[in-house]
Amino acid sequence: MTSTHRSGPGPGHATGPGPGGHPLPPIGAPPEYALPPLVDTVLSNGLRVVAVHAPSVPMVELRLQVPLPAAPGREAIAQVMAEALPWASLRYSAAEIQRLLGHAGASLTAAGGGNRLSLSASTPAASLPRVLEVLEASLGAPWYEEEHCRAAARTRAEQATAARSQPTAIAQEALRRIRHGRGVPPAVPSDADFAAVTAGQVARLHAESVRPAGAFLVAVGDIDPEHTVRVLDKALEGWGPASAEGGTSEPVTPYRTTAVYVAPVVPPAVELVERPGAVQSQILLAAPSLDRSDPRFPALSLGNCALGGYFSSRLVTRLREQRGLAYRVDSYLDELLDENVAYLDLDTSTATTGAACRELYAELCRLADDPPWVREIDAARQFFIGMQTMSLASQTALAGALAGLLGYGLDPQWLTAFSGRILEVGRAEVAAAVQEFFDPARFTGVVVGNRDGLARQSFGPLIGSQ
């Protein structure tokens, strides 16, 4: 059986006549990614810092991530803490912090939930000391006022109300329950959860968890890494192991789902979640995947890309372009409650939901019998490396990528090693990876849609009778 792919020359071939009728030269091999100069060290207060010299513009991007403690039931408190933290300083009022950041031309935002608290700042390089002064005041000497916490809770509750109405959020919540049991708290807290949060609870969570041991800070921009580390060490010395009441010097144990809840269920298990009146369905399936440190991860990444990771992939070509069965179809590798999973994610009309599921199953079976060919893999490789190069070109993107790596427990050098392995992976490795990890028998999932419209449809072996 031959593979389905876009017509046209493959990578490494001339793409047509150039100026004067002469053929264009072949596409060269994609370059291996090279990290900019950086320093990776630990400050005297225990905070890990990765400082990177990337002087494309005279700016600095900061990404701070702090692990939250291993205890369920704190999602609403963590989100309110994140909303209030940038302005929760004993040293400055919220209005003074806004003025300081405004005069510096800087921004400071925070996000919390799951197993981490994240803070992001963007500032002109010359204003970095002022931003660090504000950051240290909020981290090391916070003051959570009841009024500010109530306002933060209302803001997060409004955002949560909007999120809960989205099919994507509905599918993710159902998938969490299917794979890890009904004791898993919702990713999006209820309005009652937010309304119950008090300033005292937020302050206690800060004291228990927001400390430098176990946290990390990424600084990317027009900086001298060695000098910046010294500046950070001085500026953040007030944020110490016991800077908040009740804090200790021990690193926080990150929240790990499998230590608290039941192990993932054994497939097949697919749930139909009612969305009355819906004219579209969302299908979200997941199967256990690989950790990014696994030597097979580059091969699986290429295989995933060839299957459904970009516009010329098999799933997009077959389900969207040829059959018209999906508005959007993707496969991707990510986490679900700290479990590494391979996702299959598609949107389709109510009337074509069954046909889309059957076609998705057929493509997974074909993947086992007819894994991606060399030209498919080479096309995916070119796309993968090109996208990686573009996605790491800006200070913002590089800071985000490095923070993500450290959050996964990987070192910055992983970017270079991964790029090199992507260039080396062959068809046999890709075939072995996709045949194991995209086996349709391994997937569980959810269909969000109109039950009445789906009642008489056949979903095929992937979904079964629901």
Residue-by-residue DSSP string for 364-385: HHHHHHSPPPHHHHHHHHHHHH
* Nearest one of 313, 257, 272 to 72, comparing CA atoms: 257
> Considering the domain 264-454, what is its CATH architecture?
2-Layer Sandwich (3.30)
Query: 239: burial class by Cβ within 10 Å (0-12, 13-18, 19+)?
Result: buried
Instruction: Say what the pLDDT of residue 24 is.
Output: 56
Domain positions in the chain: 38-253, 264-454
Distance CA 357, CA 461 (A): 9
Q: What is the pLDDT of residues 321-333, one digit of tens each?
A: 999 999 999 999 9
Q: What is the pLDDT of residues 391-450, one digit of tens each?
A: 888 999 999 999 999 998 999 999 888 988 999 999 999 999 999 999 999 999 999 999
Instruction: Say what the pLDDT of residue 33 is.
Output: 75
> What is the per-residue burial (b if ≥16 Cβ within 10 Å, else e) of 369-390?
eebbbeebbbbbbbbbbeebee
Distance CA 112, CA 448 (A): 27
The CATH label, of 3.40.50.880, 3.50.50.60, 3.30.830.10, 3.30.360.10, for the domain at 38-253 is 3.30.830.10
Q: What is the pLDDT of residues 323-381, one digit of tens each?
A: 999 999 999 999 888 789 999 999 999 999 999 999 999 999 999 999 999 999 999 99
Residue 7 has pLDDT above 50, yes or no: no
**Tokens of residue 377, six digits:** 């893999």
Dihedral sign from CA coordinates of 6, 7, 13, 15: negative
**Tokens of residue 393, six digits:** 């070109």
Place of tokens 């207060």: 45
Q: What percent of the chain has pLDDT over 90?
A: 67
